[in-house]
Chain A
């Protein structure tokens, strides 16, 4: 799944060739956030793909997609801490306690932490499938918080955050038939 690293390769390439524009730090920060949302959405595709279309091969990609989404989210956060704010803890702590736009983004990241930790086969066995699945529904909370974070970030044009909101809503909706089927069983 090296393709999931292409956005990072592109960032590296653009950084080396001047393609990040006049404010490269802002550009990298925005791109990492954007790709977090894209890959998080992709991670939610396999299950409805199987339920609705009977396509089951994407199932094998769920884990790598989910873990990669977490990786992008973490990179986005670490870039903010270590590059954008350069470990200015005073500003960072104020940001994360007083500014709702940053608080929801941080909360989204925190939601993803237990999911990344329990992404291994070992944890799946330890928790049992039922509990594991319940825990991993946190991904919807993370997605919702991430979209709100994006929406509060933009100054005037809500088009792109709304697009992500629509995509996540559709992906959630696409799971309903599967749930109904499971309930009947």
Chain B
């Protein structure tokens, strides 16, 4: 098995020729998608035949921040989604989200800011140079992927609204629209989906306001037209299809933490030492691989973010 070599200096961009070859493995289909690791048995995942589709985004620079690992095939990334607004089965969002109206789209940024604003998606797309960032993505359910997101640091947007000194947390709210989001008809969660970050987490350079995937606009099932990505946290922390950001003084009540406080905390930091009550978090299955691999503290981004939690009990940060 290819041993894990942490290469977390994400400042090194992928060489151009590597980037150009990035889809070769996709064309190889399932066998190629699993990678060359000798231990990985070829699983007929069926993923990998489909090339990325959708409007191409202008990407100014590329950051490889997943230790050189190959991205999970487009098809897997776009057909295996937890997006309960469109149903609880992982195949539901890909089937039921395609009608989501992502234009026009307005994001309200309000609360403890000097310049509260409603910003149209067109303006957001031009707010800062778009970057491709290849991040590991770890779900709280102990599966994971490697995803080439497109976006820019959330801090770019937050700086523009000038948070006040009382802005301690940022709250993200997903669209609430039963007509478009059939899953909201049943009260399995409290809608709208609400997530939050501490302001320093939100301003961390790793925190991405994602608008795309594989160089294309974000497909609806992945949280179009804009979502948050915090790669050192479990996936549920990344709110999708965001319509509102509120800067607040008190720690917000977030959807999953409300639903099952013993299972999902506010922080949701990836931590192999703190098990989910129903399963171990020590290992994860990377989509396309047979054997589970060890989960890394902070999903492998400890160098970038561990400092945010100095002095806090890491066991409380699940």
Contact = CB atoms under 8 A, between A and B. Distances in A.
Partners in one complex: yes
Interface of A: 15-26, 85-86, 88, 91, 94-95, 99, 101-102, 152-157, 159
B79 A22 contact: yes
B280 A95 contact: yes
B285 interface: yes
Nearest 6 A/B pairs, CB to CB: A18-B46, A22-B80, A22-B76, A156-B188, A157-B88, A157-B188
Nearest to A152: B278
Given A99-B277, A101-B278, A22 B186 contact: no
B46 A26 contact: no
Interface string B278-292: 111011010110111
B279 A95 contact: yes
A99 B45 contact: no
A24 B45 contact: yes
Given A22-B47, A156-B84, 18 more contacts: A15-B44, A16-B44, A17-B46, A18-B45, A18-B47, A20-B45, A22-B75, A22-B76, A22-B77, A22-B287, A22-B288, A23-B90, A24-B44, A86-B291, A88-B292, A91-B280, A155-B141, A156-B259
Interface of B is mostly: loop
B43 interface: yes
6 contacts: A20-B44, A23-B143, A25-B43, A91-B282, A156-B189, A157-B188
A110 B292 CA distance: 27
Contacts of A15: 44
Interface residues of B, number: 36
B280 A94 contact: yes
Interface string B73-103: 0011101100010001011000000000000
Interface of B: 30, 43-47, 49, 72, 75-77, 79-80, 84, 88, 90-91, 141, 143, 186, 188-189, 259-260, 277-280, 282-283, 285, 287-288, 290-292
Contact of A21 (B88, B90, B277): B90
A20 B30 CA distance: 12
Given A91-B280, A152-B278, A157-B188, A21 B46 contact: yes
Contacts of B88: 154-157
B91 A21 contact: yes
Contacts of B90: 21-23
A88 to B, nearest CB: 8
Contacts of A154: 88
A18 B287 contact: no
Contact of B44 (A18, A23, A101): A18
Nearest to B263: A155
Contact of A19 (B46, B188, B278, B280): B46
Contact of B279 (A16, A17, A99, A159): A99
B190 to A, nearest CB: 11
Contacts of A91: 280, 282-283
A26 B75 CA distance: 17
B283 A22 contact: no
Contacts of B282: 91
A143 to B, nearest CB: 21
A17 B75 CA distance: 15
Best-surrounded residue of B46, B75, B141 (most CB of chain A within 10 A)? B46
B45 A22 contact: yes
Contacts of B45: 18, 20-22, 24
A159 B88 CA distance: 11
Nearest to B46: A18
B44 A17 contact: yes
B39 to A, nearest CB: 10
Nearest to B81: A22
Contacts of B91: 21
Nearest to A94: B280
Contacts of A88: 283, 292
A179 to B, nearest CB: 37
A23 B285 contact: yes
Given A17-B46, A86-B292, A23 B80 contact: yes
Contacts of B189: 156
B206 to A, nearest CB: 25
Contacts of A155: 88, 141, 260
A15 B283 CA distance: 24
A88 B279 CA distance: 14
B46 A20 contact: yes
A156 B188 CA distance: 6
A99 B278 contact: yes
A26 B279 CA distance: 14
